[in-house]
Amino acid sequence: MGGARIGLALLTLAALAPGCGGGDGGEARPAGGRQPLHAPPARALDSYAAKLRAAHAARVAAAKRWGLKRVPLTAPPPPAKKPRITTREGFEVDGHRRLGLPPVFTTVPTEEKVVFLTVDDGAEKDPAFLRMMSDLKVPYSAFLSDYLVEEDYGYFEEMRDRGVALHNHTLHHPALRGLSYARQKREICGMQKVIEERYGERPVLFRPPYGTYDKATLRAAKACGITHVPLWNEEVFADHWEYREGDRALHPGDIVLTHFRGREDWKGTMPDMVRRFLDKVTAEGYAVGRLEDYL
CA atoms within 13 A on the CB side of 192: 19
pLDDT at res. 35: 54
Which superfamily does 76-294 belong to? Glycoside hydrolase/deacetylase (3.20.20.370)
pTM of the model: 0.84
Please state the domain extents for the chain: 1-13+41-65, 76-294
pLDDT at res. 43: 78
Residue 112 CB neighbours (<10 A) = 16
| Inter-residue contact 253 to 108 (CB < 8 Å) | yes
pLDDT at res. 134: 97
Residue pLDDT tens, the chain, 295 long: 444 454 445 444 444 444 444 444 444 444 444 555 555 667 777 777 787 788 889 999 999 999 999 999 999 999 999 999 999 999 999 999 999 999 999 999 999 999 999 999 999 999 999 999 999 999 999 999 999 999 999 999 999 999 999 999 999 999 999 999 999 999 999 999 999 999 999 999 999 999 999 999 999 999 999 999 999 999 999 999 999 999 999 999 999 999 999 999 999 999 999 999 999 999 999 999 999 999 9
pLDDT at res. 10: 45
pLDDT at res. 249: 97
Query: Residue 79 corresponds to which amino acid?
Result: P
